Structure 1
Amino acid sequence: MSEILGSLWWLIISIGLLVTFHEFGHFWVARRCGVKVLRFSVGFGKPLFMRVGKDGTEYAIGRIPLGGYVKMLDEREFEIGEALQPYAFNRKPVWQRIAIVAAGPVANLILCVAFLWGMFVIGRPDFAPVVGASAGIAAESGLRHGDTIESIGARATPTWSEVQMALIPHALDREDVAVKVRAENGSELVRTLRLSRLPAVIDERRAVQAIGLSGRHELVPAVIGRVVPDDPAWRILAEGDRITALDGDPIPSWNDLPAAIDRLGQRGGKAMIEVQRNGDRLALEIQPARLQRDGKEFWGFGIEPATPAAPKRDAVLRYGPLDAVPAALRESWHQAGELYAMIGRAFTGRVSLQNTVAGPVTIGRAANAYANNGLAWYLQLLAMLSLSLGILNLLPIPILDGGHLLYYLIELVKGSPVSERAMAAGHFVGLALIASLMGLAFYNDILNNLVR
């Protein structure tokens, strides 16, 4: 229940903040262009609070806290007196109408940069970009346990989150990419990660795992949590034993144990397992057997891992206040490009719409998780949501800001406004598209969060 309430709370705060700033962009530029603003509302529905300012604008807080709106004087909605006609939105020159409509998405882009600047200055705690386990394509491409990933393509990777964000676009495009690493011995190498070998269908949410790559912080310590009675390890190993080597091969983590046991079983015979127990180092003789779990047969000892403690973050992404300005601009530009590329992949079918369009449940859960990770993480999420809101609003879909901008650009070209009939048809199409997107978003929410 606490997660549900937390998700709802952070959803309201996040969406309310971003949409309010978006509408403030429209409001601020409209006032500068001499348009009379009738109402500025935070939230929808019947006002819980309303005050009329000295400028005659009604400032309201609506009952439904998800969003907001700016209502401007417009002759297309109702008749107005001759004295007020110069203050009507529809009477303004086309370039002013373009500025007013574009101001909302631009406000979100500015807010994105501001949030990223705050995130960089505060410092986002993260994990070091050190490889923990390498298998499949990652191992075939030469990445090894202990390698520090310094860059992927042209993108520097100071933390593991940057490694993931840099890898995902290349993985989705099945595109080979150069990876610069620093090996454990200090030598710097460049590996070509053969992402063109990825299967045609993968779960986009687990693209990094599909490559066969995991971070050092993801490794499960090779500590025994339970010994199954009457299995090979019974009365040989004990709860709390930390396995350090098997048959002479080091065992850095529990992840390395199944393959080592399988090799031992294929070879046949007994072997020595080295463990740490109560501060002592022991070498014990053991022999694997064929075991069955969940209908699967495998070589094993009959041991289960202890529940690992949460890994400690050992890296921080931080810049000084001045250096954070160009860093925030670069990151905003990069993420904007990635968002447009993702939209292109969705329309061409290269990625699943199930993992592209998120609804309120997904956003709320993400907001709750990021907020629990600290202010810097939450600012990063707000930045990405603000960027998404700004860019999606610029899409040339009628009823969105981008659709209105399209009308005004046509007006500039043809020298006269788009006809009322054409605008009505466009709005019908736009409503259908938005309704479809909303339906898809709710469907994805149910599929990804509620049906699990």
Structure 2
Amino acid sequence: MEFLEGLFSAGGGLFGYLIPALFVLTIVVFIHELGHFMVGRWCGVTIKAFSVGFGPELFGFYDKHGTRWKFSAIPLGGYVKFLGDENAASVPDQDAISQMSDEDRAGALHTKPLWARAAIVAAGPIANFLLAIVIFAGLLMVYGKAITPARVDSIVPNSAAETAGFEVGDIMIAIDGNEIEAFSDIQRIVALSSESTLQITVDRGGELVTLSTTPRRQEITDQFGNKQKIGVLGIRHQASPEDVRRVAYGPGEALVGGVKETYFIIDRTLGYIGRIFVGKEDADQLGGPIRVAQVSGQVATLGIAALINLAGMLSVSIGLINLFPVPMLDGGHLLFFAIEAVRGKPLSEKNQELGFKIGLAMVLSLMVFATFNDISYVFLSD
């Protein structure tokens, strides 16, 4: 553990960003693909290759089942290639399937029952969610949780909090009906709620008071010098050492906490995407691989626990994104399977091919957009 702490916190520049990013991405991608792999093998599908990364193979080996396990040169994803796949996105190779022997056809992914294909595809994102739950639960068991009271110690003049009628000494206990355990809970909810009205319940000298307030979008600079636009109430909190209490978690409580944290990230992510479409958030906050590398390097300076926590958050995000109903992604395959279930037969090859082309264009466009955001954010911002 001490060796890892030193490795990830030492140095800087390209090395300081690259090693933590590869550590985080490798864990998340490996577990995602392992989900596909394990359910595929359980369903009797022949698996040709398991790759972490794309592009030319760097090194690998064959297992006893003939599967090629390999690490590839471009560490921005990975894939499991099943018998009958035309490419890494599991597009069916109809010509190859039609020429297979009966024995080979029995092991091809695309000849399996609908339920089996759906289970194999869904297993990747589900594995990501399970990984996140395990990570968050494990961190709670090992480190516990530091809690400071959600107390208002001062109010910024002319802020949203002052307009709403907050008073010094108020203790927040709920936001929109969601229980507030610590001051950090407020920050996480308010940050992604700019220009949205929140109902906040406070304990004011033993009396419960509900205040309606709308956080204002404001650009802030974090401890690493990164600028971001978030919702701000204008409340300040000065916690003394006596205010901080550390809560220990047993296995059962930690598991519940891990599930809650995973759900929170899913809910906040979907909410953020929805707010982009209605104009309440800026799409320039969306990041790609360069931003992941930068954030990984910065978080690594805080220690291995912070980096592992980032891996959990990224695992949730990758699992969720893969469930979007876009052909080429897992969600796109599941969409085709749902259509097949309703129609009683799969879409025609022509329509599936058209869908995959549209999906590829959408994925590539998103990657270009995210990379442009990364370059603007990391290299061109003041």
The two structures have a TM-score, normalised by structure 1, of: 0.71
1:14 to 21, 24, 27: 24
Q: Measured at CA, do residues 50 and 37 of structure 1 come closer, stay the same or move farther in structure 2, by a change above 3 Å?
A: same
Asked if structure 2 preserves the Cα contact closer than 8 Å seen for 1:45 and 1:62, the reply is: yes
Which of these residues, 177, 202, 208, is aligned with residue 154 of structure 1? 177
Distance in 1 between residues matched to 2:243 and 2:18, nearest whole Å: 27
Q: How many residues align?
A: 351
Query: 2:76–2:289: 8 Å Cα contact kept in structure 1?
Result: no
> The residue matched to 1:172 in structure 2 has which SS?
coil
Q: Secondary structure of 1:174's partner?
A: coil
Per mean C-alpha deviation after superposition, the further-off stretch among 409-418 and 362-371 is 362-371
- Show the 5 A alignment for 1:176-195: 176-181=198-203, 187=206, 189-195=208-214
Conserved 8 A contact 1:94-1:408: yes
Question: Is the Cα–Cα contact under 8 Å of residues 46 and 82 in structure 2 kept in the other structure?
Answer: yes
The equivalences for 1:296-375 within 5 A come to 314-316=244-246, 318-355=248-285, 357-375=286-304
User: What CA deviation, in whole Å up to 9, does each residue of 1:310-347 have, x standing for no partner?
Assistant: x9994546522221112222232233222222222222
CA distance in 2, matches of 1:154, 1:442: 38
Q: Secondary structure at the match of 2:252?
A: coil
- Contact 2:50-2:70 at 8 Å conserved across structures: yes
C-alpha displacement at 1:397, in angstroms?
0.4
Q: CA RMSD in A?
A: 2.7
Say which SS state the counterpart of residue 404 (structure 1) adopts: helix
Q: Which amino acid aligns with 1:368?
A: G
Q: Using the alignment, how far apart are the partners of 1:103 and 1:383 within structure 2?
A: 17
Change (3 A) 1:435 1:66: closer
**Take 1:9 and 1:126, find their aligned partners in 2: how far apart are those partners?**
31
Contact 1:128/1:315 (<8 A) preserved: no
Aligned to 2:365: 436
Matches within 5 A, 1:188-203: 189-195=208-214, 202-203=218-219
**Quick one: distance in 2 between partners of 1:405 and 1:116?**
28
Q: Distance in 1 between matches of 2:322 and 2:199?
A: 32
2-structure distance, mates of 1:340, 1:64: 28
Q: Distance in 1 between matches of 2:307 and 2:245?
A: 17
Q: CA deviation at 1:425?
A: 1.1
Q: Which runs of 5+ in 2 are unaligned?
A: 1-10, 86-91, 221-227
Tell me if 1:424 matches 2:353.
Answer: yes
TM-superposition CA deviations, 1:375-414 (whole Å, max 9, x none): 4433332222111111111111010000011111111111
Identity of aligned residues (%): 32
**Which letter does structure 1 place at the counterpart of 2:235?**
L
- For structure 1, the 5+ residue unaligned runs are 220-310
Q: CA deviation at 1:176?
A: 3.0
1:56 aligns with 2:30: no
Q: Deviations over 1:61-86 (max 9, x none)?
A: 22333322111100743343333111
* Residue 312 of structure 2 corresponds to residue 383 of structure 1: yes
Q: Which residue of 2 aligns with 1:123?
A: 144
- Distance in 2 (alpha carbons) for counterparts of 1:18 and 1:62: 15
Aligned AA for 1:153?
Answer: D
1:134 lines up with 2:118 in the alignment: no
Larger Rg: 1
Deviation of the 1:132 alpha carbon: 4.3
**Could you give the per-residue CA deviations for residues 269-315 of structure 1, whole angstroms, max 9, x where no partner exists?**
xxxxxxxxxxxxxxxxxxxxxxxxxxxxxxxxxxxxxxxxxx99945
Residues 4-43 of structure 1 correspond to what in structure 2 (within 5 A)? 4-43=14-53
Relative to structure 1, the CA distance from residue 370 to residue 140 in structure 2 (aligned partners, 3 Å threshold; closer, same or farther) is same
Amino acid across the alignment from 1:119: L
Match of 2:83 in 1: 73
Structure 1 Cα separation of the partners of residues 248 and 376 of structure 2:
36
Q: Secondary structure at the match of 1:63?
A: strand
Matches within 5 A, 1:120-269: 120-121=140-141, 122-125=143-146, 129-135=150-156, 136-145=159-168, 147-169=170-192, 171-172=193-194, 174-181=196-203, 187=206, 189-195=208-214, 202-203=218-219, 205-209=228-232, 211-216=233-238
Q: Deviations over 1:177-231 (max 9, x none)?
A: 12324x6xx6454341421xx56x655944343x2123326x9xxxxxxxxxxxx
For 1:18 and 1:128, the matched residues in 2 are separated by: 34
**In structure 1, what is the Cα distance between the partners aligned to 2:248 and 2:316?**
21
For 1:434, give the aligned amino acid: V
Say which structure is richer in helix.
Answer: 2
- Give SS of 1:59's match: strand
